[in-house]
Structure 1
Amino acid sequence: MNIRTKTRIAITAALSVVFLLYLSGILLPKSLYAVDLAHKNSLPSPAHLFGTDWLGRDMFFRTLKGLHISITIGMFASCVSSVIALVLGTAAAVFGRKADYAVLFLVDLFQGVPHLIFLIFIALLAGRNFTGIMIAVAATHWPPLTRVIRAEIISLKNRQYILVARRLGVSHLMVAVRHLLPHIAPQFIINMILLFPHAILHEAGLTFLGMGIPPEQPAIGVILSESMRYITSGCWWLSVFPGISLLMIVLLFDQIGKNLQKMMQPETAQE
């Protein structure tokens, strides 16, 4: 099986999983993971696939809802961060030395501070809620892609057809839209896909530390954080199944991004 076939299969599987999880999160009634003290701390069984927690809440349906929240934040953050990187990277490469210095200053500022510190700071500033965590994750993942896009455009803008377009009076903006952006579109899409699992993990990590989504919402970070209190009492299923579910989503999209990168490289495209 060559890399193109593997990538098609992975993309189809990922889109199907994301669509089902997103749809189930919207349609899932709260009664399916409501408190039921008569069945608390139940082991995984056909009735409760992932078991129940100390309040009798069904962990399978809580995990589905948590993955819905994580996917929503991941999609928003990866799309917004990628667009920010595209705009800033293009501006740095096209609009002269002053714009380049300003963008590189912002990139160095964000990359010079530990990523988690910026995440926590923006999450607290924007509010410890669903909107706040989306803003925090989206606002901190653009610097690496900005550097990549800037470097790609700088390597393109001195080519002959670009110089001819500039001499004919075509504006910087039109040159960027017509001649530069089509060349960097594949790199942009690949990096946006690779940003998605990072955004999900950072959202779960922030929530796990108590800096993200509030405890009343069944996010994966909330589930994992709460389950830590009960692992020593033998309730292993409270953390194992939600953690594995999150890991599978992350690894699936990470693999898609890596396969697409291989397809873009001439030496590995035909494997």
Structure 2
Amino acid sequence: MSRHLNRRQRTLLLVFCSVIALLTVTVAGGLLSGQAMVTDFSRKNLAPCMAYPFGTDWMGRDMFARTLAGLSMSLRLGALTAGISAVAALVIGLFAATSGRVGDALTGWLIDLVMGIPHILLLILISLACGRGLTGVVAGIALTHWPSLARLLRAELLQLRESPFIRIAEKLGIGRLRIVREHLFPHLLPQFLVGLVLLFPHAILHEASITFLGFGLPPEQPAIGVILSESMQYLAMGRWWLAVFPGALLVLAVMLFFTLGENLRCLLDPGSVQE
């Protein structure tokens, strides 16, 4: 019994530490956004040192402040786009489960259509159609990251719809909205929350990817994709710190999200109580 409690306590501690670390980076990066834009040519191309832990770039900008500001922007964009995608997936899944065979077939066709198009290509096309920049990035990521979660929620809802308690509720004349609110949605909440958290790293990586390729945020924004794209032309000159530190922090943030999602799944899964 005590081992079970200790295991859950460790999981809760990991969840808490992951959330605190991500919030700290987000807040610190927001506070350093002004400093990240400051140029000083008297300190350009400095290697990492005590004064500048991540070094400086060709314009004398502090790479520590610039990296945190870029990662903070990526995290905020990830929160916005993952939230939109998760809500869209939930709405589509509920529609498929409550609208009969025609609605379910239409939903399945839409999910297959979106998943059948190469992801990065669809993301770039939507971003370009929406005018690139911040609006294009948000639209592109939000409109392309819902299918996987929608398919999962749809399958779960279709299984729940055949459950005896749902059948009994329908026989008793309970309306569909009440069934969704009181029976279906509470069962979906754990999968929805875990899916929402796991959408974050995908959103962050795809934002960095299309920005790196030049289809995302404008160059004046201190985004991780912009930083990595600009650093490529200076790596041959030995200025490794321009890409290593931003890339390492991006990977660390993604790993924290995956850790958070897996631990959250363990906490919300009733079967894990018996492990």
TM-score range, shorter chain: over 0.9
Q: Which residue of 2 aligns with 1:84?
A: 88
Q: Which residue of 1 aligns with 2:49?
A: 45
C-alpha offsets along residues 35-77 of structure 1, whole Å, 9 cap, x if unaligned?
A: 1111111010111110000111000000111011100111011
Pair 134,22 (structure 1): closer, same or farther in 2 beyond 3 Å: same
Pair 40,26 (structure 1): closer, same or farther in 2 beyond 3 Å: same
Q: Which residue of 1 aligns with 2:179?
A: 175
Q: Which residue of 2 aligns with 1:102?
A: 106
SS at match of 2:233: coil
C-alpha offsets along residues 200-231 of structure 1, whole Å, 9 cap, x if unaligned?
A: 00100110000100100010000000000000
TM-score under structure 1 normalisation?
Answer: 0.95
Q: Which residue of 1 aligns with 2:69?
A: 65
Amino acid at match of 1:198: H
Structure 1: unaligned runs, 5 residues or longer:
none
Mean alpha-carbon deviation: is it higher for 256-265 or for 82-91? 256-265
Q: CA deviation at 1:101?
A: 1.3
Q: Which residue of 2 aligns with 1:120?
A: 124
Q: Which residue of 1 aligns with 2:164?
A: 160
SS at match of 2:57: coil
Amino acid at match of 1:217: Q
Q: Does 1:30 align with 2:34?
A: yes
Q: Does 1:136 align with 2:140?
A: yes
Q: Distance in 1 between matches of 2:13 and 2:180?
A: 34
Q: Distance in 1 between matches of 2:7 and 2:234?
A: 43
Q: Distance in 2 between matches of 1:29 and 1:265?
A: 39
Q: Which residue of 1 aligns with 2:216?
A: 212
Q: CA deviation at 1:13?
A: 1.8
For residue 9 of structure 1, the aligned residue among 9, 13, 38 is 13
Q: CA deviation at 1:32?
A: 5.0
Mean alpha-carbon deviation: is it higher for 139-148 or for 124-133? 124-133
Mean alpha-carbon deviation: is it higher for 69-78 or for 8-17? 8-17
Q: Does 1:21 align with 2:25?
A: yes
Pair 133,89 (structure 1): closer, same or farther in 2 beyond 3 Å: same
**CA contact under 8 A between 2:74 and 2:223: conserved in structure 1?**
yes
Pair 76,38 (structure 1): closer, same or farther in 2 beyond 3 Å: same
Amino acid at match of 1:69: M
Aligned length: 271
C-alpha offsets along residues 111-146 of structure 1, whole Å, 9 cap, x if unaligned?
A: 010000110011111121112201111110100111
**CA contact under 8 A between 1:263 and 1:270: conserved in structure 2?**
no
Amino acid at match of 1:178: E
Q: Distance in 2 between matches of 1:162 and 1:265?
A: 21
